Structure 1
C-alpha cells in the first residue's frame, strides 16, 4: 500500500511538489516568526547601544572629602575601586578637584583645579609642555589668552569655600595659598568626548571660558585643600555592552550599588546604563507585540492554502476514489489511498520547512541586521510541530467529503445537493473576529489575549465574506455577456463562478493579498510616523546643543555667524514647556507650522549699546550703602559688571569688562545694598535713557536728568532692584498648542503674563502642549544674567559645512550634534522599526502562498477544462472564443482577488491598525500619521498582483497549447 501511495506521488509529482512547497511555507512561517524575533531582540540591543548617549555608556562614583568637618569616604573609596575592577569591560579614570580662588579677578565663580588621570592624552598642547611633576598646571587656551599668561608663568591658588554672608554668593580663601607653575597651554581635543564624563569641565561660566586648571596627582595632596571632590569614571569598552551579556550587566550594577551602600552611604553612583537597558527591554517588548500580529494570519493562511489545494486535488481524483470505493475496499485502505498522497507531500514539506524557515531568517538577518546575526536558539522551532499538525489536519479535513461520499457522489463533476449548506466554519470565524475585536477595543488597544488575534481573524473573515459577494457579481456579469453573445468573456466568467472550489480559491487569493496589503499599510504608516516624529522631535534638520549661555548671548552669536538669517536660528526652552526662538528666522530654518513674525514679535526693542571697550556710568546717589551692577552682553559672552558701592552725589564709574572689548549691550541693572540692615535710597542713572522697567523692590520714575529709582532692599536676604529695558509687549505674545498658559513663571522674579495670538497643532521638539515666544523678548525679561535653558542652534539643510566652526568663532561651544536625520536613525534602530522587517517578509510569504495555491489549482483544473473546451470546440465553438475563455479566466480571477484583498487589508487596518505600537511602547505626544499613502498602496498592490498574473498567464497559455 505504501508503494502504491509513493507511486501516486511520483505520477503526480508536480502537484506533490507544489503541495510540499505550500507545507514548507506554512512551517517556515511558524519557524520564521520566533527566529526573526530572536534576531530582532539582538538588533534592538545593538542599535540602542550604538546610538546611546555618553551617560548611558559610563558610570561615575563620586565622593567628597571635607578637611574641616572630617567627612568623607576615606579608605572606602579605594575599596569601591576594587569592586569596580570586578565589573568587566570598562575603562576607569580617577579624578579629583577642588574649588580655588586667586586666578580670576572675580570671586563669584571659583577656578576648578582638577587632576584627571591620563588627561595629556585627551588635550592638545598649543604652547609649552604637558604635566610632569608637583606644582605643574595646564591652563586653557582662552583662559591664558584672557589673563595674558604663558608657559613658565607663576600663579597662586588657594582652596576656597562658598560664602553668602554679604548677601551676594561668592567664594573666599579657606586654605594657605600655593604657587604653581604654568607648564603649558591646552585645548581639549573634543569637549564632548566620553572620557571627560559628566563633570562639565568645559561649561562656559558668565564672563569667562569654562576651562579647568589641570594638574598632577601630586599637587592636590601638597596643597592646603579644604574640600576635595573625588570621582571614578567607568567608560564602557566596545564589548562591555555586548547584547549577550546585558542581563549579567544589570545584575553587576545592582551588586555595585549594594557594595557602595555597605561601604559608605556618602558614596554616589551616577549612571544612565539602567535607562539604556530599560529602553532595550521596551524595544524588545514592542517587537514581541508586532511580530505575532502578522505571524498568526500567515500561518492560518498557509493552512488554508493547504486545505484548498488538497481539496482541489481530491476533487480532481474523485474518479479514482470512486473506483476504489466501487471495488469494496475497506475503510482504512480507502482512507489511506485518499489521504496518503497529500499527507506524504505535506509531511515532507513540513520537515523541510523547519530548516527553510531558519535559513530564510539567517539570510534576512544577514541583509537586514549586518553584524548582529541570530543566536543559535532551538526555541525558534517551538511552533513547528503545531504548524505541522495543523497542516496535516487541514489536508485530512479537505478530503472528508471524498472519504464519506458514495460512489455516485464521487462521480459527479458539479457540486452535489449539499453544496449550499450553512458555512459553519465561517460562522465560527466571524464570532472569533467579533470577540477578538471587542477585546481589542475594550482593552484600549492592548495586544494581549484574544485581542492579539483580532487582525488575523478580521482579515480572514472579511476575505471569505468578500468572496461570497464578488463571485456572484462576476457570475451575473458573465450571464449578461452570454445574453449579448460575447461567448469568450461569458465562458471565462462562468468558469470562475461554477467550478467547484472557485469560491475558496478566490477567498485564499484575497486573504493572501489582504495579509500583504495589511503589511504594506503598517510599513508605510510606520515610515511616515518615523519621518514625522524625527522632524517634529528635532525641530530642524540639524540641532546643535551648546554650552550654557544667556539667551541674549546665544541670539547675538547666531546672528553674527549667519547675518543673512538663511540657515541658523537661536532656540532655548522656557519654563513650563515653552520654546523661545528667533522668530525672524522661523520660516527659513524650522520644521512645523509656526506663526509669522508679526504675530509673536510685533515691535523691536532697541537696547542701550556701548561702542567702546570702556563702560562709563553716570550716577547720582543719596546713600553710600547702595551697590550697583550692570549686566552687559555681546557675542564674546555675558557678564555682571560690579560697579561697587555708590558714593553720595554725582559720580562717574568706569569699568573695562572683557565682553565689551568690541562693544556690547546693556541688558539690565541691579541695585543692591551692603551690610546687614535694610537700605533705602534714591539713585539717578544719567546715561541709560528713560526706557526701563523696575522690579518690585524699586519704584521707577522719569526725570529730565535720567532714570530715577527709589530702592528699598535688605542685603541680609540678597534683595536687589532689577531694571530691564522697556518695550517688551505686556502681556508677552505667544503662539500655543494645547492649553493656553496663564503666565510664565521662573523666567523673571514675577510671573510674566502672556497673550495667545496664534494656535498651533504642535510645537516641534516639545509636543502638543507647549507654547512659542520670541527669544529677544524672553532674553530681556529674564532675571539678571540667567542662563538659557538648553540653548540650541537649529540649522536647515542649507547650512554650510563649517557651521559649527562659525558658531565657535562667536563664542558658542557645541556639546551635542543631533537633528532629524540622527533621530530618524535612532528610530530605525528601535523595536517597532526592526520588527516591521518581518511584515515585509510576511507579505512576500503570503504572496508566495497565494501563487503556489494558484499554480496547483491551475494544474489540477486544466485537465477538466481542456475536456470541456474540446467538447465545445467539437460542437462548433470558434477558436478565438475558446482562446479568450482559456486565457482570461485566471487573470480576471487574480485581478479581482488582489483588488478585493487590498480593500480588505485597508478595512482590517482601519479596524485594528490603530492598536499597533508603531511609534514605540511609550509614543511621543506628537500628531503622527495613522493611515498609509494611496500612491504607495498602488505600487504595493502592483507588486502583489505581478506574480499572480504571471502564474495565471502561464497557466492560460499551457491550456491553450493543450487545446
Structure 2
C-alpha cells in the first residue's frame, strides 16, 4: 500500500504539494498561538525595561552601620549572597560604595552633603585642581560647590554625620576640585544622587558629594553609614520565564550566617513594580492572541476540507474502480486517503518550523531588539492539535465520496446536491448573535471578542444561500429567454456545491481581511494622535535651565527664525485628588513646532495671537530710584511709606521703602543694592510702617520716576493695575494719565497696596483641556495655583480635548507672560518642581543636544515622536492588532489558493464541457462571457459581502478592543478610517482574484478542443 501511496504522490505532484502546504499552514497557525504569545510577552518585557532609566532597573544592596563594627568585608559578603542564588546572575557589573549624609561648616554657608566612597570613582571624575587621591582626613569637592562655598584646594571643611549625637565636626582638607565626567551616567553612579547641589524641597542647602578614594577614609562616620554594592540588570540575558525566579531570589537575599553581626541587608530595587505593570500587558496578549489565531486555524482546516473534498471528487472514478476490483472498505479508504494522511503527518514538523520561522522573522522585524522564539512544551502540543484537526478535516471531506455507490462514482456528470442547514450552521448563527449582543452591551469576554470571526461565518453562509437563490432564479429566467450565456453560468452555480463552499470561504477571508486592516488603520491613526499628545513635537529635550528666561534666550539664540525650536515649562498641581498640568510654551513658535490633534497650521497661529496679546516691555532701573510725588493726604497711626517693588536678577521680588509720605510735593529715593546691571520695576504703592496695624487711607500722584540714567518712561501708561494679592473687599483706585500715576484708598486694613506695572495680560489667556479646576467645572474665568505657587487669574480663550504634553486635565499658556507674572512673586530658579523642555522639529533636532549643551543647557533626557511610535507599535494592543492584520492577509491567501486549486481540480471535466459546447457551435465569446458571469457571481458577491461585514464588525467590535495603551491623561480614541488601508487591501484582493480567474480561463481555453472528445484529452 505504501508503494501505491508514494506513486500517487509522484503522479499528482501539484495536488500533493497543495495538501502539504495546507497542512503546514494549519500547523503553523496552531503554533503561532503559543510562540507568538511568548515572543510578544518577551518583547513587552524588554521594551518596558528599556524604557525605564538605568537607575530604575538597577539593584542596590546595602547595610546600615549603626555601631562600631568591622565593615570592610560587607561588599564581599553581599557578593557571596548574590552568587549563591542562580537567578541573580542577570545582575552584573558590581560597584562597591560607602556613603553617609554629613553636615558641613567652614564655607560661605553651612550645608549638607554626601561623603562617599565609590569604587573606581577617579575614572569618572575630571580633576579641575589637585589630585584624585583622598585618604583619611581628606576629601574631593565639586567645582560648583567649591565656588558656592568659596573653597580652594588646601582649605579645611568641617564634617560630621547628621545622625551623630553630641559629635563635633572634624576638619578635613580639600585635596582636589572635580567635575563629574558625566553626571548623567546612571550605569555607574547608580541609584544614589551624588550631584544635588542646591536647596532641596524643604529649603535645606546641599552640596555635591564629597568623595574619598579609600574606604577607610569614611571610618570615623559610623552613624548612618551605608555600605553596599550597585548592580546592573543585564537586559540581554533576561528572559520572561526567569522573572518569577528573580523576584523570589530578591526576597531571599540576606547576609550569610557567620558574617558581620548587627547588619541587615536592604534590597533597593524597582523590578517588582515594573513587572506588575508588564504583567497587565502580557495578560492582554495572552487573552487576544488565541482569539485571533484560533479562527485562522479553523480557516486552514476548512480550506483543507474544501480542497480534499474537491480532490476526492476528482478521484471518484479511481475509487469506483478500486471498489469494482473487490477491495474492502478499509483498503479503499487507505487507497483514497493514504496520500493525504501521509502528507499531513509529514507537514507537522515542517509546519512547526514554518510557524516558528514566521515568529522569528516577525520578532526581528517588529518586536523589541533581542526577542527570539521560545520553544516550550505546549508548542508541540499545539502542533499535535493541528495534526488531529487536519486528519479530522480530511476524513470529513472524503466521507461522502467514499460512501457513494460504484455507479455514482463512475459517472462523469456530477449529481445535483442540496445545501442542507445543519447544527453547525445554526450554532454559528446563535454564537454570532450572542457575541454581537455582548459587544453591544459592553461585555469584553472571549465570545464577544470572537464576534468578527463569527459574523464572518454567518455572512459566508448567508452569501452562499443568496448566491444559490440568485442562480436558481436567473437560471429559470435564462431558460425562458433562451440566453445560452446565462444558462451556462447559472447551471454551474446551481449544481456545484463547491462553488457555495468557496463563497463561504471567500466571504470569511474578505471579512477578516477588512476587519484586520480597518483595526490596524484605526490603531495606527490613534498611535499617531497619542504620540502627539504625549510629546507635542517631533523631538523633546528635557533640559536643566536656571529659569524660563535662560531657556527662552537659548532657544532664541539657536533658532532666530522661530521655525524649529520652542521653549516649554511644565508644572504639576493637584486639584480634586488628580494631577493638573500647566504647560507654558513660547506660543509665537507653536505653529511651526507643535504637533496637536486639535489645532493645526493657521488655527495655531490664531490661537497663538490669543495666548500672546501685545503688551509693553518690562521696565528696568539701575543703581538708584528717585520718585517725585504729590501727596494729597496720608492717614494712619504711624507714617505711611512710599514703596517700590523690584526684582533683582536671580532673586525673589522685594519691596524698597523710599521714605515716609509727606503731604504736598516731595522727592523720595533709595539706593538699589544689587541692581548694578538693572532690576525690573514691577510696582509702586504705599506700605504701613512696620508694626503699625491701623487702617490706612491715602491719595497721591507719582509725577516722575528716575534712576541713575535719568527719566524712566513708565508713567502715563494704562498698564497699571492692583496686584493679584489685593483683597477683593479693598477699593484701590489707580489712574495712569499723562500727568502721572494717581493712587488712592480709604480705610484699607492691609499692610500694603501696590499698583503693579503689568507686562502680562490679566487674567492670563489659556487653553483648557477637561473641566476647569474650579468649583464650577464650566467656568471660563478662575483662579488656580501657577508656577510661582500662588493663585493666578486665568481666562479660557479656547478648549481642547487634550493639551500636548499636558493631557486631558491641563492648561496651555504663554511662557513669556507666565515668567513675567511669576517674577512678581518669586524667583523661579529656586523651584525644584518645574520641568524645562525644548521642543524641536525633526529638521531642527540635528546636533541639537550638542548645541544646547554649548549654550549652557544640560540635556537630561531626549525623546522623539518616531521613537514613541516605535515603542507604541510594540505595546499589547498593537501586537494583537498586527496579528489581526496578518490573519486577514493569510485568510486571503488561503482563499485565493483554494479558488485556484478547486478550479484546477475540476478543470478536466470543465475542458470536456467547453470542448463539447464548441463542437456544438457555441462561440468562444459566449463561453468567455459565461465564465465571467459565473466567476463574477461567486467571486464578486463574497467580495462585496465580506467588505461590508468586515466594516460592520469593525464598527461593532473595535470600541471594545484597546487600540492603544491608554495611560493617565491620554486623549480620546478616534474611530476613523483613513483613505489608504482598507481600499488598498480590497484592491489587492480584487487583483489577486482577477489574476487567478484569468489563469483559470487561460488553462481551460487551451485544452478545450474537439480533440479531447476523440480520446486526445490531456
TM superposition score normalised by structure 1: 0.81
Q: Distance in 2 between matches of 1:303 and 1:73?
A: 75
Q: Which residues of 2 match residues 518-533 of structure 1 at below 5 A?
A: 518-533=515-530
Pair 1:655–1:744, CA change in 2 (3 A): same
- Are 1:604 and 2:630 matched, yes or no? no
Counterpart for residue 741 of structure 1: 773
Q: Distance in 2 between matches of 1:897 and 1:736?
A: 49
Q: Is the 8 A contact 2:285 2:876 kept in 1?
A: yes
Which is further off, 887-896 or 761-770? 887-896
Q: Distance in 2 between matches of 1:556 and 1:711?
A: 42
Which is further off, 521-530 or 773-782? 773-782
Q: Distance in 2 between matches of 1:668 and 1:255?
A: 64
Give the C-alpha shift of residue 110 in structure 1. 5.1
Counterpart for residue 875 of structure 1: 920
Pair 1:508–1:869, CA change in 2 (3 A): same
Q: Distance in 2 between matches of 1:77 and 1:491?
A: 97
Q: Deviations over 1:352-397 (max 9, x none)?
A: 4344433443454455556432123232122223222222222222
Counterpart for residue 542 of structure 1: 539
Which is further off, 885-894 or 177-186? 885-894
Give the C-alpha shift of residue 857 in structure 1. 0.6
Q: Is the 8 A contact 2:499 2:938 kept in 1?
A: no
Q: Is the 8 A contact 1:891 1:953 kept in 2?
A: no
Give the C-alpha shift of residue 587 in structure 1. 1.8
Q: Distance in 1 between matches of 2:189 and 2:683?
A: 35
1:591 paired residue among 586, 591, 595: 595
Counterpart for residue 304 of structure 1: 302
Counterpart for residue 581 of structure 1: 584
Pair 1:204–1:774, CA change in 2 (3 A): farther
Q: Distance in 2 between matches of 1:146 and 1:958?
A: 90
Q: Is the 8 A contact 1:138 1:182 kept in 2?
A: yes
Q: Distance in 2 between matches of 1:124 and 1:347?
A: 68
Structure 1 alignment gaps of length 5 or more: 66-70, 163-172, 714-719
Give the C-alpha shift of residue 238 in structure 1. 3.2
Q: Is the 8 A contact 1:31 1:354 kept in 2?
A: yes
Give the C-alpha shift of residue 405 in structure 1. 4.6
Q: Distance in 2 between matches of 1:216 and 1:371?
A: 40
Which is further off, 864-873 or 325-334? 325-334
Give the C-alpha shift of residue 876 in structure 1. 0.8
Counterpart for residue 804 of structure 2: 764
Q: Which residues of 2 match residues 325-364 of structure 1 at below 5 A?
A: 332=330, 339-340=337-338, 342-350=340-348, 352-364=350-362
Which is bigger in relative contact order (C-alpha 8 A, separation at least 6)?
A: 1
Q: Is the 8 A contact 1:175 1:226 kept in 2?
A: no
Q: Which residues of 2 match residues 464-479 of structure 1 at below 5 A?
A: 464-470=461-467, 472-473=469-470
Q: Distance in 1 between matches of 2:953 and 2:229?
A: 52
Counterpart for residue 212 of structure 2: 216
Counterpart for residue 279 of structure 2: 281
- SS of 1:372's equivalent? coil
Counterpart for residue 401 of structure 2: 402
Which is further off, 561-570 or 196-205? 196-205
- SS of 1:546's equivalent? strand
Q: Which residues of 2 match residues 252-267 of structure 1 at below 5 A?
A: 252-256=249-253
Q: Is the 8 A contact 1:290 1:835 kept in 2?
A: yes
Counterpart for residue 167 of structure 1: none
Q: Distance in 1 between matches of 2:809 and 2:422?
A: 52
Which is further off, 201-210 or 328-337? 201-210
Q: Deviations over 1:660-692 (max 9, x none)?
A: 7865646799999999x9999999998897766
Counterpart for residue 716 of structure 1: none
Q: Distance in 1 between matches of 2:689 and 2:142?
A: 35
Q: Distance in 1 between matches of 2:28 and 2:444?
A: 29
Q: Which residues of 2 match residues 625-636 of structure 1 at below 5 A?
A: 632=647
Counterpart for residue 45 of structure 1: 45
Give the C-alpha shift of residue 101 in structure 1. 5.2
Give the C-alpha shift of residue 538 in structure 1. 0.9
Which is further off, 207-216 or 515-524? 207-216
- SS of 1:818's equivalent? strand
Pair 1:681–1:92, CA change in 2 (3 A): farther
Q: Deviations over 1:119-146 (max 9, x none)?
A: 3222333455434444555454555667
Q: Distance in 2 between matches of 1:222 and 1:908?
A: 69
Structure 2 alignment gaps of length 5 or more: 83-87, 575-579, 630-635, 662-667, 715-719, 735-739, 775-782, 1009-1018
Counterpart for residue 166 of structure 1: none
Counterpart for residue 504 of structure 2: 507
Pair 1:444–1:769, CA change in 2 (3 A): farther
Give the C-alpha shift of residue 804 in structure 1. 3.4
Give the C-alpha shift of residue 25 in structure 1. 1.3
- SS of 2:651's equivalent? strand
Give the C-alpha shift of residue 312 in structure 1. 2.0
Q: Deviations over 1:542-576 (max 9, x none)?
A: 11222374445544554455444322222312424
Give the C-alpha shift of residue 931 in structure 1. 4.4
Give the C-alpha shift of residue 302 in structure 1. 0.9
Q: Distance in 1 between matches of 2:215 and 2:743?
A: 52
Counterpart for residue 181 of structure 1: 174
- SS of 1:639's equivalent? coil
Pair 1:580–1:916, CA change in 2 (3 A): closer
Which is further off, 1-10 or 507-516? 1-10
Q: Is the 8 A contact 1:510 1:901 kept in 2?
A: yes
Counterpart for residue 639 of structure 1: 651
Q: Deviations over 1:392-436 (max 9, x none)?
A: 222222334334555676567777676153354322111122223
Give the C-alpha shift of residue 494 in structure 1. 4.8
Q: Is the 8 A contact 2:63 2:264 kept in 1?
A: yes
Q: Distance in 1 between matches of 2:392 and 2:809?
A: 55
1:655 paired residue among 666, 673, 681: 673
Q: Is the 8 A contact 1:492 1:886 kept in 2?
A: yes
Give the C-alpha shift of residue 295 in structure 1. 0.5
Which is further off, 453-462 or 53-62? 53-62
- Are 1:785 and 2:788 matched, yes or no? no
Pair 1:588–1:264, CA change in 2 (3 A): farther
Pair 1:473–1:481, CA change in 2 (3 A): same
Counterpart for residue 779 of structure 2: none
Pair 1:208–1:812, CA change in 2 (3 A): farther
Q: Distance in 2 between matches of 1:272 and 1:200?
A: 16
Pair 1:702–1:915, CA change in 2 (3 A): closer
TM superposition score normalised by structure 2: 0.77
Give the C-alpha shift of residue 926 in structure 1. 1.6
- Are 1:124 and 2:126 matched, yes or no? yes
Q: Distance in 2 between matches of 1:781 and 1:124?
A: 40
Give the C-alpha shift of residue 254 in structure 1. 2.9
- SS of 1:459's equivalent? helix
Pair 1:64–1:494, CA change in 2 (3 A): same
Q: Is the 8 A contact 1:569 1:589 kept in 2?
A: no
Q: Distance in 1 between matches of 2:437 and 2:255?
A: 47
Q: Is the 8 A contact 1:551 1:572 kept in 2?
A: no
Counterpart for residue 803 of structure 1: 848
- Structural RMSD (CA): 5.1
Pair 1:209–1:941, CA change in 2 (3 A): farther
